[in-house]
Chains A and B, each alone.
Chain A
Amino acid sequence: MRPHRTYSNIPTYLVVGPFAILLAFPFYWMLWTALKTELDLYNVDSVPFGLSKGSPTIDNITFLFTDTEYTRWLVNTAVVGVAVVVITLLVAVPAGYALARLSGNWGQTLGVGIFLVYLVPPTLLFLPLSRVIAELGLQDRLGSLVLVYPGFTIPFSTWLLMGFFKTIPRELEDAAQVDGASRLRTLISVIFPISLPGILTVVIFSFSLVVNEFIYAVSFITASSSKTVSTGIYTELIRGDVFFWGALMAATLIPSIPLALLYNLFLDRFIQGFTGGAFR
């Protein structure tokens, strides 16, 4: 795209600016709250934007890490996330490749079919699954989440990967095969290395699907020490009418900001996979 002259950008800023403020304001507000002392939080004079009575402070964050199980929930989330991402990649990378390259028309249809499974929401499945989890004795165990989450990460990732693999020029594979490499070998030493950015994109987005999941986590797990951030903060840090607002806001910001940075970093790849995917 041609670089615009400065004045032609003014309408862009006039539209994008307000949207950005509207969408980001809650996070700004969370940050402000996280930095305030209890006294300052309820000080009407400085309610929205002032800082006084000992603010800014890091006490809320210290409280979070020393007096609550927050660290535990972060670790749990990471453990489940990593395990699910590994399972997802092992299954979805070969499938995505095969659907994009090795199969004809039925591959396209099957690809769309697998993707549509992603639209079957946990809302329809959590009741029978919570019983199955209980029968398997997996209640209150992280294993229950590792078992169930691939049900939505695999369809999503397979479909996105299919999009990425389609954007790789066929000539590369042909060249490798002319050189005598087997199909499997071509896959491992030619295709995977150049698809790495696409695979990383899938890693990030499926990891964040895991962090986001709420309904399974809340139905399968009631023991505090096995909770993930999504459920732990709400169910454990809010006790009756006592709200530790500062700590709560810090707890929500800590996982959100890094995720948003990663999203922004990989957004163009995501778009590339999306447009190359089942809808093309």
Chain B
Amino acid sequence: MGVAAHVEPRIRRRRSLLEQRRFLAPALIAPAVLLVLLLVGGPLILSVYLSFTNATGGSLSGDFVGFDNFTSEWGDRNFQTALRNTIFFTVAVNVLVVVGAAVLSHFLVREFRGRWFLRFLILLPWAAPVALSTIGFLWIFDSLFSVINWVLVHASLVDQFNPPQWLGDRENAMAAIISVHAWRLLPFATVIMIAGLASIPTEVNDAAKVDGATGLKKLWYVTLPLQLPIALIAVLFGIVFTATDMAVVYILTRGGPFNSTQVLPMWAFATGVQSGDLGAGAAVALYLLPVLALVTVLMLYFAKRVEVS
């Protein structure tokens, strides 16, 4: 190795503090922990504090109002729609994504001609910045020149003079948002599942072969059970990414038409930034916390499971 081999005799060589694990390790880790506490821990506490006050746009403090922000939001129609939609979008997107990714990953781990190029195409939605690709969808869902409608009209599936308004009515807009999220998350989930497949030791495959397990049998009894923990990790990521994303809804519908596609992050932004009601906005965002806490606990649990297997 490229280390200059100074083979000096080690007599009386005083080891500096840095040589000792118990000093070196904390010294190397401390900056990361401190920055994370400062940039994430601090704001999180501040957010909880704000949610109990009536602070408005101009300042960081306000009068203590107890749970008023939480209860008044809970009774708010827009908040209720936002909560319902957030849950619905998250579930729908992740069901689509996990099924798609499970199938795709099984084929994409194989070696085949043109794999590099096909993989490039598949990674595109994940690599492209979300706010940018969503603008692309704004054009794809255009009210007059939608390419989807062009295809549907030419396949005689919809009426030429009354084509679907993808972003203009409630059901279609929801379908549009779900598809964009699923489209975007599918490559990421696929990659995680490929990682899961790649980490299955080759001995397992060999053993399965010796036992005569092939094809579907092997898939069902050997590969899928081993893939399950990491698939769940993909789902947990997926839940966090969909439930907390604002960009897709912000760009496609702004929560419209008539708040029908409102989601919690967008509503928190509308309340806290646009209407300047900092306390209520913080309360809206914090309603996401129980979900995230649950995801965290599950993540830790499955992380342990993967470690054992």
Residues of chain A at the chain B interface (Cβ within 8 Å): 1, 3-4, 9, 11-13, 15-17, 19-24, 26-27, 29-30, 33, 41-42, 47-48, 90-92, 94-95, 97-99, 102-103, 107, 110, 112, 114, 116-117, 119-132, 135, 147-148, 150-152, 154-155, 158, 172, 175-176, 179-186, 189-190, 193, 208, 211-212, 214-215, 218-219, 229-231, 233-234, 243, 245, 248-249, 251-252, 255-256, 259-264, 267, 270-271, 274-275, 278-280
Contacts and interface: CB of A to CB of B under 8 A. Distances in A.
Contacts of B187: 23
B128 A252 contact: yes
5 contacts: A4-B111, A95-B33, A124-B43, A256-B124, A267-B123
B307 A280 contact: yes
A62 to B, nearest CB: 20
Contacts of B247: 214-215, 230
Contacts of B145: 41-42, 47
B136 interface: yes
A252 B132 contact: yes
Interface stretch (B71-79, B163-171, B295-303): B295-303
A264 B128 contact: no
Contacts of A152: 40
Looking at chain A's contact residues, the main secondary structure is helix
A219 B307 contact: no
Interface residues of B, number: 107
B265 to A, nearest CB: 4
The 5 tightest CB contacts between A and B, nearest first, are A151-B39, A121-B244, A256-B128, A95-B32, A128-B46
Contacts of A9: 110, 112-113
Contact of B24 (A121, A154, A183): A183
Nearest to A27: B124
A95 B230 CA distance: 25
B29 interface: yes
Contacts of A252: 128, 132-133, 135-136
B205 to A, nearest CB: 10
B306 A279 contact: yes
A23 B111 contact: no
B212 interface: no
B278 A120 contact: no
Contacts of B136: 26-27, 29-30, 249, 252
Contacts of B264: 123
A91 B31 contact: yes
B3 interface: yes
B176 interface: no
Given A127-B281, A260-B128, A219 B104 contact: no
B191 A267 contact: yes
Contacts of A128: 43, 46-47, 49-50, 60, 282
Contacts of B265: 121, 123, 215
Given A98-B24, A127-B278, A271-B195, A114 B32 contact: yes
Counting chain B CB atoms within 10 Å of each CB, the highest count among A110, A180, A186, A261 belongs to A180
A135 B60 contact: yes
Contacts of B33: 95, 110, 114
Interface stretch (B87-95, B217-225, B286-294): B286-294
A117 B34 CA distance: 12
A135 B263 CA distance: 29
Contacts of B250: 214, 218
Interface string B182-204: 01001100011011101100000
B8 interface: yes
Given A23-B186, A179-B3, A260-B123, A13 B132 contact: no
